[in-house]
Structures are given as structure tokens and as C-alpha cells.
Chains A and B, each alone.
Chain A
Amino acid sequence: MQIKGVFKQTGERRFLRTLISQKYLLLLLLPGIAATFVFSYLPMYGILIAFKQFNPLHGIWGSKWIGLQNFKELFDAVLFWRAFKNTIVLNLYQILFAFPGPILFALLLNEIRNVVFKRWMQTVTYFPHFLSWVVVGGFAVAILSPNTGVLATITEWFGGERYSEFLLTDPKAFRTILIVTELWKNMGWGAIIYLAAITGVNPEYYDAAVIDGAGRFKQALHVTLPAIMPTIVVLLVLRIGNMMGSDFEQIYVLYSPNVYEVGDVLSTYVFRLGLFQGKYSYTTAVGLFQSIIGFTLIVLANRLSRRAGGALW
């Protein structure tokens, strides 16, 4: 110990001492750090194959380096651009129609005076969030099934024919179905965070608004909404950052070859070509493309959001 004291500087010695005194604390960190390393950081090494011609026999290291050739193939692929277009379009639709859903729902929920009714509504609307997309897809099938689904029964009620097309395989309806199912599943749950923000609003603002003669509708519009705007902006920025790849399971469960032209997005495209057709290098290049664009989007969105008054960082 004494020899160490002679050669080590104070900084290092303090580090070592803290290390030893906190040894159990650091031990506690081990499982989390190890798991994250093995399953989140280690795969990043595989990104290299985007620049290689991956041959499973040679492994990642031994495969031939081909630079940007995979990316050239990417830019030439018609199906890639279709997937890219679909990803952008679908996400824009989602942001336009599905993103505001929880916000409006939270605002409405906030207006309910009866606590019991409010709690019931919350219980009922939170539930679909806990179902898997497979099950939600099952519900969609139950409703939209030609001839047997509820949709068919309803159209019959209204005097029309029993609806006999399978809406789920209709490219014209697919986008709408995606948005409706998304709202059905997540609108209630998504409202939680807005509800939490709403409870943080200073009641004095409401009093001031009442004095100015504002009814409940105007109060919601001019007091509540601006107050939760920072929360909305943060979540919007995060949503934009997720644009490139967040929607996999929903679309994969619901889509079918008939709707590829509108429904095939980058994540499903990568999944099909990579896992089922084995084009590993190519799809990793697409994946890298997704990450870079996603990152750029979130940085841009955050920069713009600063002007709107609330940013992620």
C-alpha cells in the first residue's frame, strides 16, 4: 500500500478507494451492464456487414469489404423507395391523426366531474394497451371478416348488402385500419402522461380565465392546452425520431401481399428480405440508413421544437 502511495497520484488513489468502498454497489450494476452490453452494444458490431458482402461461412470479420456497394443497390431498388415512401406517408398519417388522439382524450377526460365515471373510463381505455398486436389483429379480423364480421352485419342493418370484401386486404383501406387500430390500442394509455401533466397546471390560471368569462371549452383551449404544450412537444419530437422503424409488429401482423404497395414499410421490407430471403448485407445497409435518417430527424425536430417553447434537450 505504501509503495502505491508513492507512485500514484491523488486522483487515481481516490478513484481506487471509491472503487473499493463501493464494490457492492458496482457489483449490483453488473447484471444490467452485462445484459445491455451483450444484447444492445454487441450487435452494433454487426452493422459492419452493411459495408461488406456478408458470407455466413466467413463470419463478419472474414467477409469481403465492398464499401458503399450495398448502398448503391439500395438506391436503385424500386421496392426500397416504395418502402421508404410508405414509411414516411404512414408516419405522417399517424402523427396527424393518431398522435392528437391521446391529447384530446386526456383533455376530455379531465372535464369529467364524476370521479367514478372517470375512473371507469380510464380502466376501460387502458386495457387494450396490454394486448399484443396479434390479438388486436385478431379483433380486426373478427370485425372486418367478409360476411361474418361485425362490419358486414352493420352494413346489412343499414339496408345495404352484407359487406363481402375483406377490408384488411384492400390497399385503399389499409392506412385507415392502421390508424384506427393504433388509436384503439393506445389512445387510453397514451393519455396517462398528458393527464399527469394536466394535474400540474396551476389552478390560478383557471380562476383567472373564469374571471375573464371563459367557459369550460375556452378554459381547456386557452389554459390547459398551452400548459401541457411542452409535454406535447417532447413527445412529438420523440415520435418523429421513431419514424423510421417503430411500427413493425403492428404492420407485420396486419399486412398481406395485397397491401404491400401501401403497407410495406422499411422495417417490414428489411424483415422480409433479410430474414426470409437472406440478403443480410443489403438489409443491414437499409437498417443503417433508417438509423441515420431517424437520428437526423430527431435532431432537426428538436431544433425546431426549441422555437415552439419546449425541447427534448
Chain B
Amino acid sequence: MFNRLIIVFMLLIGASMLLPFVNVIAKSFSSNAMVMTGQVGFIPQEFNLHAYREVFRNPMFMNSLKVTIIVTLAGTLFSLITVTTTGYALSRKRLLARRTVMLYFLVTMFFNAGIIPNFLNIRNLGLYNTIWALILPGMMSVYYMILVKSFFEQLPSELEESASIDGSNDLQTLAFVYLPISKPILATIGLFAAVHFWNIFTPGVMYIQSQSLFPLQLIVQMMIFTQSSVDAQTMAELDLQGTLGTETLKMAVIVVSTLPIVVVYPFLQKHFVKGITLGAVKA
């Protein structure tokens, strides 16, 4: 009895996770008329690709797609480099002032200077309204660093010992001995970082003024929520084809911006559960 209850309950939960997707996808492939009269449930009505055509024809959308792709690639790269080097160094128990350095990083997990000080900082650094404002601040994630550090700590110490006996210095040990066998954790962190950068929104609102640098999620927000922080002129430019406000377009935008994550997700799943449970329980 208990068993059957659980299965039913689980199926309900699973359905509630999936059905909104199905609904949105169905609407995106339907005709606007059918959507507006609420006739679209889980199956497209009057199947057509108009909405998608409009999406790919919209210059602001396509430009923000380009911006986000660049930010994701660069951000993931920098993130991996920073997090791996720091995580490796901190995993060495002999590290000078190890505990102090750990504290230095941990403190930042609890203390945030605040929205305005961060904003002023970016301005003072001359990064305001540049693509770097989207890439650099999120680069060093202490959380990811701790995961990497835990991973390295779990590897047998003989690796390092035999490498140093062979005359390898720390840089070489990291590059030629540890990195080649770190593929699982690097894949995990890389995918997490990629998803993080793909999804950035708040830094876009805070640090970017030029439309040409708006990240994808910002454009998505502007296209879906009709009352947003955007002025009328920008809305007019966004709405070049006059198709904005059509439900099907909004749905297509959601689908397109979510697609990469859907594609990447199976690979993510393969790696992360192990990595997260190991690292998280330790932390």
C-alpha cells in the first residue's frame, strides 16, 4: 500500500516537473490564434514554425546569443583554470599558510560587500559595460574550488611523491600527473560553470548598458515579461518585426534558450552525482 502510494506520488511530482515543458513546447509549435484562445494543452495545434523563424530573425536575440556563447566559453575556461590551480595548491598539506589561505577564501562565502559596492567596484575597475564584467566576477567560485580540492585530496599521495622523486616541480606534477586523471572532476566543474555562465542575468542588468552586450537571459526576460526594466525605445527596437507579445514567440524563446542545457544535461548527470556527494558531504 505504502509502495503504491509512493509510486503515485512520485509520478505526480515527475509529471509536474515535465508537463510545463511539454506545454511550452507545444505552444511554441502552435499557431498564435490557438494559443490565445487557450486551446493548446500538450499537443501543438495548427503546427507551424513561425515562432521559431521570428526568433532566429530577431537581431537582438541572435546578438545576445552570440554574447552568451562567448561569455560561457571564456567564463568556463577561466573558471576551470582558476579553480583547478587554487584547488590543487590547497590540497597539498605542506602548503605554506594553508589554513590562512583557506580562511581567506571561506570568508568570501559568507560576506558579500553588497550590490552597490560591487557595482562601484566594477565601475572603478573600468569594467562597466564591457563583456569582462560578465566573465570575471563569477570566475572564482569557492564552492567549486572546494570540490576540486576534495577530489585531489582523495588521490593517493604516492602520485606526488613519485613525481617529485623523478624531479618534477609542482607545476609539472599538476600538469602531467594530476590533470590527466582528473577528467571526472574537471568535466563536472566545467559543466557546472558552463551552465552558470549560460544563465547569468543579474550581472547583465547591473553592469551592462549597451544593447549589443546584453546576455541571453536578459533578452529572454525582456521578451517574456512585458513589464520589465526596459524603456519604450529599447522595446521598440526589440520588436522590429512587430511580433513581440505573441505568446508563441515567447514560448519559442524559452525553448531556444533552454535547449543547450537540455542537450548538456545527460553528460552533466553522468558525472555530477558522484562529485557532488563526495564534495558536498565533506564541506
Contact = CB atoms under 8 A, between A and B. Distances in A.
Interface of A: 15, 18-19, 22, 24-33, 35-36, 38-47, 49, 60, 105, 108-109, 111-113, 117, 120-128, 130-135, 137-139, 141-143, 145, 147-150, 152-153, 156, 162, 184, 188, 192-193, 195-197, 200, 215-217, 241, 245, 248-249, 252-253, 256-257, 267, 270-271, 274-276, 280, 283-284, 287-288, 290-291, 295, 298
Given A28-B86, A137-B225, A280-B116, 7 more contacts: A32-B86, A43-B121, A120-B14, A122-B273, A147-B36, A184-B17, A188-B17
B253 to A, nearest CB: 8
A139 B24 contact: yes
Contacts of A28: 85-86, 88-89, 170-171, 174
Interface of B: 2-3, 6-7, 9-10, 13-14, 16-21, 23-24, 27, 35-38, 40-41, 81-83, 85-86, 88-90, 92, 94-96, 101, 104-105, 108, 110-121, 125, 136-137, 139-140, 142, 145, 169-171, 174, 195, 198-202, 205-206, 217-218, 220-221, 224-225, 227, 229, 247, 250-251, 253-254, 257-258, 261, 265, 268-269, 273, 276-277, 280-281
A275 B112 contact: no
Contacts of B247: 145, 148
B113 to A, nearest CB: 4
A132 B268 contact: no
B4 to A, nearest CB: 12
A290 B205 CA distance: 21
A156 B10 contact: no
Nearest to B125: A38
B115 A192 contact: no
A113 B115 CA distance: 47
B229 A24 contact: no
Given A134-B201, A257-B227, A112 B6 contact: yes
Contacts of A128: 17
17 contacts: A24-B171, A28-B174, A29-B85, A32-B89, A40-B108, A47-B113, A108-B9, A130-B199, A131-B258, A134-B217, A134-B221, A137-B224, A143-B23, A188-B17, A241-B110, A249-B201, A295-B111
Contacts of B251: 142
A45 B117 contact: yes
B224 A141 contact: yes
Contact of A32 (B37, B83, B199): B83
A18 B9 CA distance: 59
7 shortest interchain CB distances as A-B pairs: A46-B117, A287-B114, A32-B86, A43-B113, A132-B199, A24-B170, A35-B140
A228 to B, nearest CB: 11
Given A24-B170, A25-B95, A287 B115 contact: yes
